[in-house]
Amino acid sequence: MTKQLSSSLTLMWAVAVPTMWFAFFGIFALAIFVSSRSYYGFVSATILKIIIPLILLAGLLLMFITVMRFRRIDIDADFLYATNYIKTYRYPWHNVKSIKTKKGLFFNKGIICLKEGGKFGANMTFLLSNRRWREFINEDIFGVSQYVEE
């Protein structure tokens, strides 16, 4: 039986928000490029044709280097499972070097450091669920809290 360690909001931040951002600004940019209007209110269409794709790409880049790196983490007695909601990889506990927590401005996140890099790299970031983290630390569910560095 596996136990989820990361927050359930990981799916929303790592998949839903970037998808909605791309859909909204992508359709908006497409509409501006297809339209034959020369002005939108007081703004020139030429200016919008430059600014909107830049906002689209800047937002996607920002999300790619921040929230899209979050992984869903599940654990059991033998393995740690990490997924990006497309592929899931399992890592044996002997390959885990440490699990660290970091408080952020908007999110508390956990960082899993591996001894040998895996498919997601040597460090995997996950959105921390405070309730699940306390259970993980206090109950030592699978005897793996020895990897925690705080």
- pLDDT at residue 150 is higher than 80: no
Q: How far apart are CA 108 and CA 102, in angstroms?
A: 6
CB 72 within 8 A of CB 103: no
pLDDT per position as a tens digit, 24-77: 999 999 999 999 999 999 999 999 999 999 999 999 999 999 999 999 999 999
Residue 23 pLDDT level (bands cut at 50, 70, 90): very high
Among 19-23, 79-83, 101-105, 122-126, the range scoring the smallest mean pLDDT is 101-105
CB 110 within 8 A of CB 145: no
Q: How far apart are CA 128 and CA 134, in angstroms?
A: 10
- One DSSP character per residue, 4-59 reads E-B-TTHHIIIIIHHHHHHHHHHHHHHHHHH---SEETTEEHHHHHHHHHHHHHHH
Measure the CA angle with vertex 55, ends 30 and 13; round to 5°.
100
**Architecture label for domain 70-149:** Roll (2.30)
Domain ranges of the chain: 7-67, 70-149
Give me 51's structure tokens.
């600014």
Strand partners, 44: 39
- How much is the average pLDDT of 71-94? 95
Measured on CA atoms in the order 57, 12, 9, 90, is the torsion positive or negative?
negative
Give me 147's structure tokens.
């990897």
Residue 138 pLDDT level (bands cut at 50, 70, 90): confident
Share of the chain above pLDDT 70, in %: 100
